[in-house]
Structure 1
Amino acid sequence: MADKKKKQNKYDIKRTPIVAVMGHVDHGKTSLLDAIRGTDVTSGEIGGITQNTRAHQIDYQGQKISFIDTPGHEAFSSMRSRGAKVTDIVLLVVAADDGVQPQTKESIAFAKESNVPIIVAINKIDIPGKNLNKLKQELSSAGLEIEEYGGSVIVNEVSAIKKAGINELLESILATAELQEIQKVDAPQGMQGTAFILESVLDKALGPVSLVLVKSGEIKQGSYVIHEQGYSKIRTLMNENGEQLATAEQGDPINIIGIDNVLPTGSYINIVADEKTAKQLSKEIQLGERDLLEAEKESEEPVEENDLAFLADLLADAKTEDEIKFLNVVLKTDSQGTLEAATHELVNLNDEEVQIKVIDSGVGPITERDVQTAKAARAVVLGFQVDVPKKVSDLAQKDRVLVRSYDIIYEMVDEIADAMNSMADPILEKVEVARARVKQVFVLSNKSIVAGCEVVKGTVVKGYRIFIDREGTEMADAKITQLRQNKNEVKEVKKGQDCGILFEPSYADLAAGDEIVCYKIEKI
């Protein structure tokens, strides 16, 4: 019997490469990962859009590769930015039939800011009518120096649906990883490892779950996590398939279960072997004697959401309550990442007349406390990918608090934008409804002025507001007090008929050839 030999990796790669999959919404990032993994994630996405950062790992020819699947919708900019910061390679997916789009350019910018090499996957090459030369020119114009034009950026043509070009793409990833000379990083002294939090959620059954990437050393089940709020014992390490693991190595994406809090996304955690060490280091961190991460501390710019929130606060301080209207919001989402994205999108709707105030926010289902907070502040409760328990819904109905829950972020944004538009002061516009041409002007004994007219448009009605139109110039403003036909007072005069029009206040300069324009005020 022949010996069974494990596949040997032909590439000299020291640790698992991390690949962030980026690109514009609906360009097929998740479908491409489906093809790579041989699974189907897309069917489980609401609206077909990846709402949260996902991480996956495959074994290709004896070499592990970790993938971070980031959302393509514009609202999830901060998630894509985090993906670029912790990755070794950016895999930029561009649809052959749609070309370079806003989030394509943004992903390129993130990769360049993080000094990360880019591999382009032109997806949907099975679609007829594509123009690949034009697309490559667009990529070049967007700042990518592709190999075909003498640069270093590899371009692979693939079809996620047909599963074409997948092996060639994986070979390109491993070849790029080898050129990058990716090395393992030792954990800081006295620690087992460090990890970067990609996403945190509050799971109904498991409690707080943190999806992390191991950045140095390793993580073992039963070890202790040191985080900003303190420390926690790792109860379970779980991979993407729900399988429990004893150890996670550098470059591995892993779910940590057992942490007491929903940790902030984009932050680091340290891993130590025992509670005594965890307690001591946690105390030093709380006292400011030690940084949470010593081996690989990053100085990150504040994310745009915080800048926008600060700007909104400044605007609110600069105006009185009478000058600006506010829509108070209690916001709950399923994860820290989506909380950031939803807050950003809502605050981005602010203008000089109407602004959103997120008075309370958090991760997890909508609760009775949220309804009570909203009632006290005359706020609405917005949920994104979270449940509204029946008892909470009943309380909201009883207390007349509006609770809305959404599964797709742009549906939430559109509905709130409509609500804000309805709160803004309406713009009023004069709308012409009738017009009469002055043929002769009469002055009565009591000095009243009567305009002898022919109605040339619509029906002139007693009580209408009017102005005088003299060769395109608007003059005077008055109200029709009398309409006369053949010495009889009437209520209205139709187009083509003659009449006498009296209005107050009168206009002494009225002359033949002027036109009396009847109008109404409408909101636009």
Structure 2
Amino acid sequence: MVTVMGHVDHGKTKLLDHIRRSNVVAEEAGGITQHIGAYQVRLGDRRITFVDTPGHEAFTALRARGAEVTDIVVLVVAADDGVMPQTVEAISHAKAAGVPIVVAINKMDLPGADPYGVRGQLTEHGLVVEQLGGDVVSAEVSALTGDGVDQLLEYLDLIAELEEFSADPGVPASGIVIEAQLDRGRGPVATVIVQQGTLRRGDAIVAGGVAGRIRAMFDHTGAQVDEAPPSTPVLIMGWDDVPRAGDRFEVVHDERAARTQAADVAVTRRTEGLVLPTAAERLQSLLDELRSDEQAELSIIVKADTQGSQEAIREGVSKIGRQGGRITIVHNGVGGINENDVLLADATRAVIFGFGVRPDAKSRRAAEEAGIEIRTYRIIYEMLDDIEAMLVGRLAPEAVEHILGVAEVRAIFRSPRFGSIAGCYVTEGELTRGNRGRLVRNGVVTYDGAIASLRRFKDDVRSVSAGFECGVGLENFRDVKEGDVIEAYEVQEVART
């Protein structure tokens, strides 16, 4: 099974479309081809399944739920554009999955194509291609003309042969749910990939807390099929409810056994859902583990405000160590902390460290729901000290930050008395005059001080709650722009155990 990743404009979709048009396993059987999230191509005697996920976010979301959905990752990089921030994210997500990576250098038909430059850039992010003495396979392709695509497929076939990917078609079928939805005409449907055994129409199946009996199966061309051997993606009808993407499915003896097993899982999940660990509890558990484990590994994600800060932190982290312990930087990048970082942290049990950057509201909520620890700093050595303390399982008393209110800047006004006044809409919590406040622009902290003034219409006010507009003046700061975010916060010191 192959997952294709890459920057949004680097030709991933065109490459997939070209492979699909040229190498479909079966002819379309008189119906409209339907997209089911995965499809197969034939290469000699071997069939390769491509999992068509909408980017590395979905891929890692499945991994966060324990689903191993791929054997090989194809990283698409545009030859004229080179390595972009999303490419770096994709590399981190692919490396965290621990599977072979094949680089497809796309858009070789363009005059500005520079495959050598791309290979050099990849080296900076830990991917050394064979041409530069490494072990990462790369192919130069053009998704537009098709040049090099056959060679790319041959590389995938060769890796599959060397890695000896195999499955037993004779055992009871099992695999992964990759997509699921409620279809108005057909009821609950799910796309699954068979990983072991042969799935047949009429089989009783269970996936997580959902049971069913297969009434119909469709392949990626929309044709109805009676059976699906290993590595085959199929759309299944016949579920009692919509299963969850990332759940494993398996064939059981009969519908009664399927419903009993599904009910047991559903009860367990409801119980677990009532006692989800908080970020503090997860961190404490990690610290206990690091204290007691002789071969401890601390996984971290680092986001910084500038390239220079990022390099300084990476160099500082490389010097931290202890006997029987090591630090793995799962991902590091420039810019604000986003939902992709939270997903990756959830999948890899990593702690997120930010220098001069902040999570946006969505990322903050996602981290709270998943119990992910996000720690932000304004001084590099304080961050490095905490990372070192964490590696040995001890943290000094922590200054815990509580967000009191958040406001979006929607207009700028000038005041002879206060200078620049930000016309804001309070989106959550409450802003109070005198609060500590920071201004965040594109995820990066550009000001940290205090809220000097608050106005409603022409009146000075003490505080403004969510859902209201107001004017905000920041102490000794005038460089406010539309689209900025103002956060009011307080800091409390909490002892670590």
Q: TM-score band, normalised by the shorter chain?
A: 0.5 to 0.7
In structure 2, C-alpha distance between the alignment counterparts of 1:184 and 1:214, rounded to whole Å:
10
Do structure 1's residue 245 and structure 2's residue 211 form an aligned pair?
no
Do structure 1's residue 218 and structure 2's residue 198 form an aligned pair?
yes
Q: Secondary structure at the match of 2:159?
A: helix
Q: Secondary structure at the match of 1:87?
A: coil
Mark the CA change 1:277 to 1:423 in structure 2 (over 3 Å): closer, same or farther: same
In structure 2, C-alpha distance between the alignment counterparts of 1:285 and 1:82, rounded to whole Å:
14
Q: Deviations over 1:17-70 (max 9, x none)?
A: x111111112111211111121799xxxxxxxxxx9821111122321100122
Shift of 1:140: 1.1
164, 170, 178: which one pairs with 2:153?
Answer: 170
Mark the CA change 1:326 to 1:192 in structure 2 (over 3 Å): closer, same or farther: farther
Query: Contact between 1:197 and 1:210, CA under 8 Å: does it hold in 2?
Result: yes
Letter of the 1:65 partner, please give it.
I
Do structure 1's residue 112 and structure 2's residue 112 form an aligned pair?
no
Query: Contact between 2:107 and 2:113, CA under 8 Å: does it hold in 1?
Result: no
129, 132, 140: which one pairs with 2:123?
Answer: 140
TM, length-normalised to structure 2:
0.53
Map 1:362-381; keep pairs closer than 5 Å: none
**Equivalence for 1:476:** none
Query: Contact between 1:71 and 1:79, CA under 8 Å: does it hold in 2?
Result: no
Shift of 1:78: 2.8
In structure 2, C-alpha distance between the alignment counterparts of 1:30 and 1:83, rounded to whole Å:
26
Letter of the 1:57 partner, please give it.
Q
Query: Contact between 2:176 and 2:246, CA under 8 Å: does it hold in 1?
Result: yes
In structure 2, C-alpha distance between the alignment counterparts of 1:152 and 1:84, rounded to whole Å:
26
> Across the two proteins, how many residue pairs are aligned to each other?
305
Shift of 1:156: 0.4
Query: Contact between 1:192 and 1:273, CA under 8 Å: does it hold in 2?
Result: no
Query: Contact between 2:109 and 2:145, CA under 8 Å: does it hold in 1?
Result: yes
- RMSD between superposed Cα atoms in Å: 4.3
Q: Secondary structure at the match of 1:85?
A: coil
Q: Secondary structure at the match of 2:88?
A: helix
**Equivalence for 1:204:** 184
In structure 2, C-alpha distance between the alignment counterparts of 1:68 and 1:195, rounded to whole Å:
13
In structure 2, C-alpha distance between the alignment counterparts of 1:183 and 1:108, rounded to whole Å:
26
**Equivalence for 2:172:** 192
**Equivalence for 2:472:** 427
82, 85, 99: which one pairs with 1:102?
Answer: 85
Letter of the 2:118 partner, please give it.
L
Letter of the 1:203 partner, please give it.
D
In structure 2, C-alpha distance between the alignment counterparts of 1:56 and 1:86, rounded to whole Å:
14
Query: Contact between 1:22 and 1:69, CA under 8 Å: does it hold in 2?
Result: no
**Equivalence for 1:311:** 368
Shift of 1:227: 2.7
Query: Contact between 1:74 and 1:103, CA under 8 Å: does it hold in 2?
Result: no
**Equivalence for 2:255:** 275
Query: Contact between 1:82 and 1:198, CA under 8 Å: does it hold in 2?
Result: no
Do structure 1's residue 260 and structure 2's residue 243 form an aligned pair?
no
**Equivalence for 2:74:** 91
In structure 1, C-alpha distance between the alignment counterparts of 2:23 and 2:153, rounded to whole Å:
19
Mark the CA change 1:313 to 1:176 in structure 2 (over 3 Å): closer, same or farther: closer
In structure 1, C-alpha distance between the alignment counterparts of 2:117 and 2:67, rounded to whole Å:
27
Q: Deviations over 1:310-345 (max 9, x none)?
A: 63799xxx989xx54799xxxxxxxxxxxxxxxxxx
Mark the CA change 1:123 to 1:313 in structure 2 (over 3 Å): closer, same or farther: closer
Shift of 1:355: 3.9
Letter of the 1:308 partner, please give it.
R
Letter of the 2:368 partner, please give it.
L
Map 1:282-431; keep pairs closer than 5 Å: 282=262, 285=265, 308-309=365-366, 311=368, 324=405, 354-355=427-428, 425-428=470-473
**Equivalence for 2:43:** 60
Identify unmatched segments of 5+ residues in structure 2. 25-34, 270-345, 353-361, 372-400, 409-423, 430-464, 485-497
TM, length-normalised to structure 1:
0.50
Bigger Cα Rg: 1
Letter of the 2:365 partner, please give it.
L
In structure 1, C-alpha distance between the alignment counterparts of 2:471 and 2:407, rounded to whole Å:
16
Do structure 1's residue 156 and structure 2's residue 139 form an aligned pair?
yes
Mark the CA change 1:148 to 1:354 in structure 2 (over 3 Å): closer, same or farther: same
Letter of the 1:354 partner, please give it.
T
Mark the CA change 1:96 to 1:206 in structure 2 (over 3 Å): closer, same or farther: same
Shift of 1:301: 5.5
Query: Contact between 1:84 and 1:116, CA under 8 Å: does it hold in 2?
Result: no
Query: Contact between 2:5 and 2:56, CA under 8 Å: does it hold in 1?
Result: no
Mark the CA change 1:319 to 1:89 in structure 2 (over 3 Å): closer, same or farther: closer
Q: Secondary structure at the match of 2:197?
A: strand
Letter of the 1:145 partner, please give it.
V
In structure 1, C-alpha distance between the alignment counterparts of 2:162 and 2:267, rounded to whole Å:
43
Q: Deviations over 1:101-160 (max 9, x none)?
A: 222222222222222001111111001122221111011111112100111111101101
Q: Secondary structure at the match of 1:234?
A: strand
Shift of 1:171: 0.6
In structure 1, C-alpha distance between the alignment counterparts of 2:474 and 2:89, rounded to whole Å:
41
204, 207, 214: which one pairs with 1:234?
Answer: 214
Higher relative contact order (CA 8 A, sep 6+): 2
Query: Contact between 1:25 and 1:73, CA under 8 Å: does it hold in 2?
Result: no
Mark the CA change 1:195 to 1:429 in structure 2 (over 3 Å): closer, same or farther: closer
Shift of 1:286: 5.3
**Equivalence for 1:183:** 166
In structure 2, C-alpha distance between the alignment counterparts of 1:146 and 1:93, rounded to whole Å:
14
In structure 2, C-alpha distance between the alignment counterparts of 1:264 and 1:272, rounded to whole Å:
18
Q: Secondary structure at the match of 1:258?
A: strand
Letter of the 2:101 partner, please give it.
I
Query: Contact between 2:175 and 2:195, CA under 8 Å: does it hold in 1?
Result: yes
Letter of the 1:28 partner, please give it.
G
Q: Deviations over 1:446-478 (max 9, x none)?
A: xxxxxxxxxxxxxxxxxxxxxxxxxxx9xxxxx
Query: Contact between 2:209 and 2:264, CA under 8 Å: does it hold in 1?
Result: no
Mark the CA change 1:93 to 1:254 in structure 2 (over 3 Å): closer, same or farther: same
In structure 2, C-alpha distance between the alignment counterparts of 1:58 and 1:140, rounded to whole Å:
31
In structure 1, C-alpha distance between the alignment counterparts of 2:53 and 2:217, rounded to whole Å:
22
Query: Contact between 1:53 and 1:68, CA under 8 Å: does it hold in 2?
Result: no
Do structure 1's residue 123 and structure 2's residue 106 form an aligned pair?
yes
Query: Contact between 1:119 and 1:153, CA under 8 Å: does it hold in 2?
Result: yes
In structure 2, C-alpha distance between the alignment counterparts of 1:53 and 1:352, rounded to whole Å:
42
